[in-house]
Structure 1
Amino acid sequence: MKKIVLLLVSLYFMVGCTDAKLNHQDTITAYYNARNKLDFNELKTLVNDSITIISGDYVMPYNTKGFYEVFKWDSIFKPSYKLVELEEKSNQVIANVKINSVRNTFLKNSDMTCQYRISFSSGKISKIEELNCTNVDWNTWRQGVDSLTSWIKKHHPELDGFINDMTMNGAENYLKAIELYQANVD
């Protein structure tokens, strides 16, 4: 009996001692896997209590609640994220990510590949900065957005403003606008 108790106690300490933190690359891989599964509970374990997202001139700081709102907005478009490459540089990782979604497909930029600089604080993601998107045609993107918003303003003014509404309701209206536009214009 003593041997069994001693063995169990030893196993307990061995398992407890191997409970290591994820390295940065594993954290980023888990982050994009959680994004693909639309699993915010897993996602929030990988992200700091405050996270800053930088895209072009837009610097968007979020607490957990705000980040959840953006997550819900994004999830409406059925996104998929595929890590193409990760390169670690001190406390940052450069990640190349292939992104697709209903919105990107509508804007004729499916499978866009973007490069992000991801920073960490206390082992968790604290900042995601978009560096560039190599295969995106921003002119086509802008034309698609302009055509959609002007058509919606004229034919469905009740949906006008969806383009700047970063809530789940705004994303649902965006998706509805795409569906209406495609049914009547394409």
Structure 2
Amino acid sequence: MKYILSLIILACTLAGCAEKERSPEETVATYYKAVAEGNYQEISSLISDSITITAGDYVMPFDKESYYEHFKWDSIFKPSYEVVSIESDNEQVIATVAVSSLRFEFLKNNPLTCSNKIYLHDGKITKLEEITCIDVNWDVWQQERDSLVAWTARNHPELDNFINDLSMKGAIKYKKAMELYVGRGGED
């Protein structure tokens, strides 16, 4: 009898200690919290071995290593993330997130608030698909970006091509180009 009672207690203890599976909404909320805190270890535990980010015509597939490079690129612009809402209909999760950063400030669209459809498989995030960005002015964004690219090519060719370099080195060049452009004092 003591043996059976000990087994029951052990089974109950083990069942109580087992990690509860997160709901899709909890996974998404935890992901954005980890992104906001810059906690890549937590992010890595929440994403699949491959993850795709889509924004407009851009489709960016990543494995965990290349996603880490993307994470480092983004971190150079000192982003802050605020989850506005997370909704689910058991089929999909829609998260609306406001992101502020040095880059978005330069592009005169700060914060950038977008709704994303998040796909999960076996409890891991596999895809972040931008649905819409609220109150964004893409014309101003493009004008600021194009002015920066042209000015940098003319005045600081050592920083040229930063716009296509999604490495940490490219982000550092991008940030330096923004700083020089803002501080140019009327120089063309």
What is the TM-score when the length of structure 2 is the normalising length?
0.91
Taking the aligned partners of 2:61 and 2:25, their CA distance within structure 1 comes to 23
Q: Is residue 104 of structure 1 aligned with residue 120 of structure 2?
A: no
| Map of 2:17 onto structure 1 | 16
Q: CA deviation at 1:85?
A: 1.0
**2:29, 2:86 within 8 Å by CA — same for their partners in 1?**
no
| Map of 2:130 onto structure 1 | 130
3-state SS of the aligned residue for 1:90?
coil
Q: CA deviation at 1:130?
A: 0.3
Taking the aligned partners of 2:9 and 2:162, their CA distance within structure 1 comes to 58
| Map of 2:54 onto structure 1 | 54
Taking the aligned partners of 2:29 and 2:162, their CA distance within structure 1 comes to 31
Question: Quick one: percent identity of the two aligned structures?
Answer: 44
| Map of 1:31 onto structure 2 | 31
| Map of 1:95 onto structure 2 | 95
Taking the aligned partners of 1:10 and 1:65, their CA distance within structure 2 comes to 39
**1:98, 1:111 within 8 Å by CA — same for their partners in 2?**
yes
Structure 1: which amino acid aligns with 2:114? Answer: C
What is the TM-score when the length of structure 1 is the normalising length?
0.92
Q: CA deviation at 1:13?
A: 1.8
Structure 1 residue ranges without an equivalent (≥5): none
**2:119, 2:127 within 8 Å by CA — same for their partners in 1?**
yes
Taking the aligned partners of 2:130 and 2:185, their CA distance within structure 1 comes to 33
Taking the aligned partners of 2:66 and 2:37, their CA distance within structure 1 comes to 20
Structure 1: which amino acid aligns with 2:80? Answer: S
Q: CA deviation at 1:11?
A: 6.7
User: Across the two proteins, how many residue pairs are aligned to each other?
Assistant: 182
Q: CA deviation at 1:112?
A: 1.8
3-state SS of the aligned residue for 2:29?
helix
The alpha-carbon distance between structure 1 residues 185 and 31, as it changes in their structure 2 partners (threshold 3 A), is farther
Structure 2 residue ranges without an equivalent (≥5): none
3-state SS of the aligned residue for 2:183?
helix
Aligned Cα root-mean-square deviation (Å) = 1.8
**1:92, 1:117 within 8 Å by CA — same for their partners in 2?**
yes
Would you identify which runs of 4 or more consecutive aligned residues in structure 1 move more than 3 Å? Answer: 6-12
Taking the aligned partners of 1:146 and 1:35, their CA distance within structure 2 comes to 28
**1:47, 1:125 within 8 Å by CA — same for their partners in 2?**
yes
**2:84, 2:97 within 8 Å by CA — same for their partners in 1?**
yes
Q: Is residue 154 of structure 1 aligned with residue 154 of structure 2?
A: yes
Q: CA deviation at 1:164?
A: 0.6
Q: Deviations over 1:49-85 (max 9, x none)?
A: 0001111111111111111111111111111111111
Taking the aligned partners of 1:23 and 1:32, their CA distance within structure 2 comes to 14
3-state SS of the aligned residue for 1:184?
coil
Q: CA deviation at 1:12?
A: 3.5
